[in-house]
Chain A
Amino acid sequence: MADAMNVGVNLEAFSQAINAIQALRSSVTRVFDSLKDGMKNKETLEGREKVFITEFQDNLQSVNRDLNELERLSTLVGRPSESHPLHNSGLLSLDPVQDKTPLYSQLLQAYKWSNKLQYHAGLASSLLNQQSLKRSANQMGASAKRRPKVQPSTLVLPPQYVDDVISRIGRMFPDMSIELFRPNGTSAVLLVTLGKVLKAIVVMRSLFIDRTIVRGFNENVYSEDGKLDIWSKSNYQVFQKVTDHATTALLHYQLPQMPDVVVRSFMTWLRSYIKLFQTPCQRCGKFLQEGLPPTWRDFRTLEAFHDTCRQ
């Protein structure tokens, strides 16, 4: 660790230089002590002066020697690396009050965690990219690098076209009525009423189905301020299950180039719920399993199964 951080510092010379500083300090102290003590008691004045001067000279010479030694060692010590590896965060570690403000250790933990998160996210994205999950058509190709990311053509359909497609699908099925609202901008929100069985709210993004929530026929679809309530779950377990299945269905029916076919398939699938309470399960023949009727509808054959009975 010492080598990695202090590349240019010679630790041996460093400790010797510290010793040399101590020696220099003590010899300078000796000089001033001898000056302070003055002349020692001797028989003659010349004797005292001579002793004093020799002592003084000795002390000054030792100071000189020590200073030269220190200068020699300081050239050997070298400079610490210019770039402080810890930058500003390293200055936090110099704060000794660890109990009250453990900033540096927390900072290190946060950094390690975010590094790990980035690594895992990278792994996850490489795994997920192996299968394309895009439901909309994208104009990728050689021009992707030159042009900035263009909106896929199927995501910017004019609202009038969306209205036409929805009304055409609504007319296809006599026992299903579809009302179109646009409470927030251009995204359509459909209220699908299926006979007297259920009401489904389908949130769209141009012609792609984004989200759906299914509630009972006698439940309130509007929130207190009169708008469509697209968030609260149904009060009944059977419709909570049907909501989960409908979400599975909207992810299952995918056709990037022809979103109106997708919407039509989804509505056909949803329509099979008109006999939610009347059909027994195709596999076990019973109506109820754990208190729930058969809520699963097969995507191809539209047969009814209990959630636990489906293959």
Chain B
Amino acid sequence: MGVTCVCQVPLAEGKSVQQTIDILHKKLEQLGAVKQGNFTVDCETYHATGNASGQPTKLLYVMHNSETPLSCLALFEGGPCLTADGNFDVLMIKLKSHFQNAKGHKVESRGSRYRYCDFLIKVGAVTMSSSARGISVELEYCPCVVPGDCWNLMKEFMQSFLGPSIPELPSVFATKPEGLYAPADCVDTMTQYLELFSKVRKQQVLPGTTR
């Protein structure tokens, strides 16, 4: 587990989601990256019931990542988070009385996984109830564990295949530039995905896109 950065890539001029993804794949393959399978990251939303009126309902997000297929992560936005094994989903079903699943709000990102030297690049299409909403790119630099050290290095790499649309330093990095990136439980990565998915949810449906 190295330093990971998740960002959203705007669509190319006049192209659909799939076409933009194909362009990115081609650029990566030109660089010399090798495709190593597929990945999936998804996020389900649960409303916490039983709150006193006046308080905003707390939203619980349960996320899965194909990098860690046997675990799932449950977190409140900006709050505590919990790493559990796969049976947590079954537990959530049992807790129906306290947590209501917002079925229409499931967001997932699915796509291909590329490896280039020590970088892992995942380009995925973000979909919400089977309509494509955007493109997510996750870049991981495996050997380094301190985000502050390798941010410039990662920016340079992203420039080589994303072109001018380089993201800002993720907020997770800003809080702990010298600290160790959360090892092996990818909490920081999933927090970044959560931010991206929340942004995508708030967006309007992209005009003219179908899946």
Give B residues with C-beta under 8 Å from A: 1-2, 32, 116-119, 141-146, 149-150, 152-153, 156-157, 160, 180, 183
Contacts and interface: CB of A to CB of B under 8 A. Distances in A.
Q: For this complex, into which size category does the number of interface residues on chain A fall?
A: 20 to 34
Contacts of B141: 277
A291 B150 contact: no
B2 A277 contact: no
A236 B143 contact: yes
Contacts of A237: 117-118
Given A236-B142, A236-B143, A239-B143, A277 B119 contact: no
Interface in A219-244: 235-239
Given A278-B149, A291-B116, A291-B118, 6 more contacts: A196-B146, A218-B1, A277-B144, A288-B153, A288-B160, A290-B117
A218 B183 contact: yes
Interface of A: 196-197, 216-218, 235-239, 275-278, 280, 286-288, 290-293
Please report whether the interface of chain A is mostly helix, strand, loop or mixed according to DSSP: loop
**Which among A237, A239, A277, A288 has the greatest number of chain B C-beta atoms within 10 A?**
A277
B144 A292 contact: no
B142 A286 contact: no
Contact of A291 (B119, B145, B180): B119
A286 B116 contact: no
Contacts of B153: 277-278, 287-288, 293
A276 B141 CA distance: 13
B2 A218 contact: yes
B189 to A, nearest CB: 14
A290 B152 CA distance: 16
A216 B145 CA distance: 9
A236 B1 CA distance: 12
A52 to B, nearest CB: 107
B147 to A, nearest CB: 10
Contacts of A290: 32, 117
A288 B142 CA distance: 14
B143 A288 contact: no
Contacts of A277: 141, 143-144, 146, 149-150, 153
Contacts of A197: 144, 146, 149
